[in-house]
Amino acid sequence: MSDCVRGSIWSYANIDVLNKYGYNACGHTVTPKKENTQIREFKTYIHKFPGKSLYLGGIYHNGTKQYGFKYINSCHTDLAVYYWSYDDANFCPLLIRVTKTWWSWNSDYYHEYYAQTGINTNQWTKDGIGDNVYSGFQKIINEECFKRVVVLNLSQTNNGSQYGVDGKPNSEVNPTVKIQVSGPTNVHTDYRKYIHRLSSGSMNILCTKHEGKHRPFQKFVLSTPYNEAYIYYSSKDTQHSKPLILQLGAGNDFYKLDGGEKWVHDNSIKSGELKTALDKENATHVIDISQTNGQYSCSSPSCGKNIEVDTQEGNHKYTKRGHYLQGSGQFSVSSFIGSSGNKLQTGLSSISNVTEVNVFWYPNDGSSKPLLINYQLSNEHKWYKKTKVANTWKEVSEKDLGKPTSPSDQAKIKKLLIGASSPEVTIKIEQVPGSSYISDDQTVKIDRTGAASANGYSQISHKIIGKTFIIKGITHGNKSQTVQGSTTAFSKDPLTEVSVFYSDLDSKVSKPLLLELKLQDVADYTYYEKREKANEWQLFDTERRNQCTGGPLKKKLDALYAIHFPSNLPIILWSTFGTGLSGTAVGLAMWKGPALLARLIARL
């Protein structure tokens, strides 16, 4: 499928609505924007066209052209696609909204809605629903075929239990339709089988869910109806943490997890040879991330093999420890353990067909801990960082700009390790200098110095000796401080120090003026200035990364002082402008107020 048909004046882009991330269209990058609808059971992706010379040429889904759309070449603004909120892979588009105008310079536009005529077909029909999207959803929900589209919850293993079509106990979509679970039944002595059936009739399977995570199919199975699905676990896997094989229907339609992420159809598995296939998938190992050198015995049931640990240190102040099976090539991992008592590490997926698992320890001193885990699946590197919760890990996603590209990407690895090792603390900027306070089990030391050549002001610094830290929150007088227009509040980068600037005339440190955040990178700073609104701050000079000192710092503090201490205007006027300022100018500034003075100072 070509992404573009170019004309002499206009270009016509072919849009594949399966795309969730950015893609190319006629030399432009289109980045779909996910939005939640007013009806929370559904979601939408907006594909906005960049440029007035770009029009819609065709609509595709997973490379297959979609039909039934009328005169779509007049669409040049955006395309909206609606899905169930639980359709994680966007396998089943339900409605498509085409925005049309007559000409590119015409500001008038109107919407046309198209509904899919059946499960996973490429035929669409225009729906006369106007802008009442809800009525369109209701029509789809009430279609008998769409009532049978389900998410299999593979974590449901209690005999006689049931769950909704979205994989949750009670679905808000078609709440009366239920999937019923039965089992276990024995498959030899080593494995257990659980059966999932729709309460009535066949079902169309959208995806699966296991331990709260979506496990999609590599290729669509949605168009095929099945009367039942079978999921197989090891009999020793009492927590049902690793699904081994998924069978759709009663035939030879078997799937196994590729890298623990997606279900891939395996033609080599036959019903009569199922035990052999299960044995192969169950040949997994347990990685002990607390091991530091040599070899250790794998604790996986009936394994009996030793896992080698290769330690590498360098000048980057962290240690990489590679875990592998000597002479065995690829292997699979069912779980990770570590810490005292071989505690199970959560948030890490079971994996298949890896040659080595890398565990990164930081820092290289007596407090070194495993904080980062890496392994390679096919051509992709997976990274998991330690969270602040004991024995819990979180995947570093593709959207994270700091995701390392390989185990040798030292700069990004070091940054992740510093972030994972940095405690989260609440900075209490009302605390007086010359002392310390306890915040989130950490001792924060306070010092007071002159404000870097800004006469008349003091800089009070808060830091944890020998550690970087991350701001959990900032308080003043036990009141939380917020950032204007921000939901994430203050910077979440690892810091070495937070400083707050006060006027020397403010003996009770009642009105902080400026915050300075010193990042763990050398000579990298972020500043927030106090707004007039109580407990609110805003980012100051977003382009600045170096430290603000001397004259620029003095002028900024003077401007903030004028806003927050308007009764002291004459003092700050004479301090800033000197005797060259006439009495008339002083009176004018006092009459116009602190905002005028702040602007005057800032322009000097």
Tell me the two tokens of residue 219.
């290729």
CB within 8 Å of 409: residues ≥ 6 apart: none
In angstroms, what is the C-alpha Rg of the chain? 31
pLDDT of residue 443: 93
Per the prediction, the chain carries an average pLDDT of: 85
Q: What is the pLDDT of residue 588?
A: 44
C-alpha–C-alpha distance, residues 488 and 217, integer Å:
34
How big is the CA angle at 334 (ends 331 and 340), to the nearest 5 degrees? Answer: 115
- Please state the rounded mean pLDDT for residues 394-404: 82
Q: Which residue has the higher pLDDT, 194 or 433?
A: 194
| pLDDT value for 586 | 45
| Angle at alpha carbon of residue 270, lines to 267 and 276, rounded to 5° | 105
Per-residue pLDDT at 572 exceeds 80: no
One-letter amino acid of 363: P
Q: Is the pLDDT score of 592 beyond 50?
A: no
Helix (H) or strand (E) holding 565: none
Is the predicted pLDDT of residue 337 greater than 50, yes or no? Answer: yes
Sheet holding 357-362, edge to edge: 294-297, 306-313, 319-324, 357-362, 369-377, 380-386, 393-395
| Helices 569-577, 594-603: crossing angle, 10 deg rounding | 10
pLDDT of res. 131: 66
pLDDT score of 309 more than 80? yes
User: Residue 432: its pLDDT value, please?
Assistant: 75
518: how many CB neighbours lie within 10 A of its CB? 19
Predicted pLDDT of residue 149? 93
**What gap in Å lies between CA 297 and CA 305, rounded to an integer?**
6
pLDDT band at 487 (very low <50, low <70, confident <90, very high): low
For residue 15, give the nearest of 39, 50, 47 by alpha carbon.
47
pLDDT above 90: percentage of residues in the chain: 45
Contact assessment for residue 411 and residue 418, using Cβ atoms and an 8 Å cutoff? no
Confidence of residue 587 (pLDDT cuts 50, 70, 90): very low
pLDDT digits (tens, 9 = 90+) for 351-393: 877 889 999 999 888 789 999 999 988 778 999 999 989 999 9
| DSSP designation for 73 | G
Write down the pTM of the prediction: 0.54
- Residue 107's pLDDT band, with cuts at 50, 70 and 90, is low
pLDDT of 434 higher than 50: yes
For 117-129, the pLDDT digits (tens) are: 888 789 999 887 6
DSSP 178-196: EEEEEEEEEETTTEEEEEE
**What is d(CA 322, CA 127) in angstroms, rounded to the nearest whole number?**
57
* Spans of all domains in the chain: 4-142, 146-281, 284-421, 424-546
Q: How confident is the model at residue 499 (pLDDT cuts 50, 70, 90)?
A: very high
